[in-house]
């Protein structure tokens, strides 16, 4: 089946057979992190059920470890996920593209990540999620709202960067399984 193949190749692209990778899912609560973890889990290679805590969860698929944290309103949570930095290989930052009211808060949290020295080399995939819902912002608008267009440059390999760190936006619907494979593909080419 196409979906199964897609998920498999998606994990293949993450280098699951070859290496240990640690991927952080960050974003405000309600952005879609848990839903995305469950999507990744819908695969035969699953080894562990996600461990659930109020604001953090973990999923291990093969050698890839995914950790998700809810951000926003709780500086203590920021401290917790910062402890995870030394070995993080990539960040998936989820934004609810339909929630205009919380875009400022989401931008603030994203800026905290962008301004963290320990993360200077870590690629960041921004998912503009829930494009299936009416009222979803177009990509260009979301980029502006998050303030990343202005700062972005393109390197020799045609990869967008902010201050030398690969960052790009992918619009998606985790619910409808649309758009996020491209983001994982982009990230996987940056993992080695
Ligand atoms: N319409 C729509 N709803 C979504 C999508 N992704 C997640 N949701 C819903 O948004 C809510 C929050 O998702 P959740 O994964 O729990 O967010 P988290 O707090 O970041 O873990 C849930 O009701 C999900 O079903 C999507 O792509 N489209
Ligand atoms: Mg969650």
pLDDT tens digit sequence for 120-139:
999 999 999 999 999 999 99
Give yes or no for a contact between 88 and 19, defined as CB atoms under 8 angstroms apart: no
Residue 51 has pLDDT above 80, yes or no: no
Report domain extents, the chain. Answer: 2-188
Has 160 been labeled as part of a binding site? no
Select from 54, 117, 61, 49 the least CA-distant residue to 80: 54
**Residue 27 alpha carbon, nearest atom of ligand 1:** 20
Residue 11, pLDDT score: 64
Retrieve residue 35's tokens.
Answer: 């839903």
Has 89 been labeled as part of a binding site? no
The CATH architecture to which 2-188 belongs is 3-Layer(aba) Sandwich (3.40)
Instruction: Read off the pLDDT of residues 9-36 as tens digits, 9 standing for 90 and up.
Output: 666 655 544 557 899 999 999 999 999 9
Cα 33 to the chain's mean position, in Å?
Answer: 8
Q: Considering every ligand atom, which ligand is closest to the CA of 38?
A: 1
Tell me how far apart the alpha carbons of residues 160 and 168 are, in angstroms, rounded to a whole number.
6
Tell me how far apart the alpha carbons of residues 191 and 185 are, in angstroms, rounded to a whole number.
10
Retrieve residue 92's tokens.
Answer: 């998936």
Q: Residue 44 — very low, low, confident or very high, per pLDDT cuts 50/70/90?
A: very low
**Averaged over 76-86, what is the pLDDT?**
75
Q: Ligand 1: does its nearest atom lie under 6 Å from the Cβ of 132?
A: yes
Tell me how far apart the alpha carbons of residues 53 and 55 are, in angstroms, rounded to a whole number.
6
**Averaged over 108-119, what is the pLDDT?**
92
Q: Considering every ligand atom, which ligand is closest to the CA of 173?
A: 1
Q: Ligand 1: does its nearest atom lie under 6 Å from the Cβ of 175?
A: yes
**Averaged over 163-168, what is the pLDDT?**
93
**Distance (Å) from CA 132 to ligand 2 centroid:** 19
Contacts of 9 (CB under 8 A, 6+ apart): none
**Averaged over 84-97, what is the pLDDT?**
90
Q: Ligand 1: does its nearest atom lie under 6 Å from the Cβ of 27?
A: yes
DSSP the chain: -HHHHHHHHHHHHTTTTT--EEEEEEEETTSSHHHHHHHHHSSTTB-SPPEE-SSEEEEEETTEEEEEEEESS-HHHHHHHHTTGGG--EEEEEEETT-GGGHHHHHHHHHHHHT-GGGTT--EEEEEE-TTSTTPPPHHHHHHHHT-TTTEEE-TTS-EEETTEEEEEEE-BTTTTBSHHHHHHHHHTT--
Which of 40-44, 60-64, 91-95 is predicted most confidently?
Answer: 91-95
């Amino acid at each position: 089946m196409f979906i199964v193949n897609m998920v498999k190749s998606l994990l293949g692209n993450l280098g699951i057979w070859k290496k240990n990778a640690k991927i952080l899912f960050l974003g405000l609560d309600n952005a879609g992190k848990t839903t995305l973890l469950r999507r990744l889990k819908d695969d035969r290679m699953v080894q562990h059920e996600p461990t659930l805590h109020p604001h953090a969860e973990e999923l291990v698929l093969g050698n890839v470890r995914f950790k998700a944290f809810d951000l926003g309103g709780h500086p203590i949570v920021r401290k917790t996920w910062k402890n995870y930095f030394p070995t993080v290989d990539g960040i998936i930052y989820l934004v609810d593209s339909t929630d205009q009211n919380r875009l400022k808060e989401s931008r603030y949290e994203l800026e905290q990540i962008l301004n963290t020295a320990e993360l200077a080399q870590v690629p960041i995939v921004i998912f503009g999620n829930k494009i299936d819902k009416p009222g979803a912002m177009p990509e260009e608008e979301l980029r502006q709202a998050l303030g990343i267009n202005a700062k972005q440059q393109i390197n020799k390999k045609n990869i967008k960067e902010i201050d030398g760190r690969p960052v790009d936006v992918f619009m998606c619907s985790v619910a409808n399984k649309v758009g996020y494979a491209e983001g994982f593909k982009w990230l996987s080419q940056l993992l080695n």
